[in-house]
Amino acid sequence: DTAVSQTPKYLVTQMGNDKSIKCEQNLGHDTMYWYKQDSKKFLKIMFSYNNKELIINETVPNRFSPKSPDKAHLNLHINSLELGDSAVYFCASSRGTGATEAFFGQGTRLTVV
């Protein structure tokens, strides 16, 4: 009965590869997010989707492409991975665009070697 689930939990890959992280929420929320947490634990918003539409797109390289097939899913695809992409990526959701609190998944630790 996990609320926000991400897969995989750990991902180790070589530079230049393309990888995807999947996220699903069963809370019935309309809005989903991707956050990046770097090695110093700084947390930054990357993207936000509301009902499958992109509403927040922070300054993120276009190698990162979110995809939302439906409002319960928000996947993150990363092309041409670089060493600096190594981080923990969190998916989150909230009731709507006006809901200020977010519910987070357990994170995906991405290591690029």
Which residues in 21-80 contact another protein (CB under 8 A)?
Answer: 31, 33, 40-45, 47-48, 50, 55-56
99 scored as a contact of another protein (CB under 8 A): yes
Binding of another protein by 97 (CB under 8 A): yes
Question: Could you tell me the maximum CA-CA distance found in the chain, to the nearest angstrom?
Answer: 39
Please give the Cα distance from 33 to 13 (Å, whole number): 23
The count of residues interacting with another protein (CB under 8 A) is: 28
In this structure, the strands spanning 108-112 and 87-94 are antiparallel
Whichever of 51 and 80 has its CB closer to another protein, that residue is: 51
The SS3 call for residue 89 is strand
By beta-carbon proximity to another protein, the closer residue of 1 and 40 is 40
Instruction: Please list, in sequence order, all residues whose beta carbon lies within 8 angstroms of the beta carbon of residue 18, skipping any fewer than 6 positions away.
Output: 77, 78, 79, 80, 81
Does 89 contact another protein by CB under 8 A?
no
**Which residues of the chain form contacts with another protein (CB under 8 A)?**
4, 31, 33, 40-45, 47-48, 50, 55-56, 90, 92, 94, 97-107
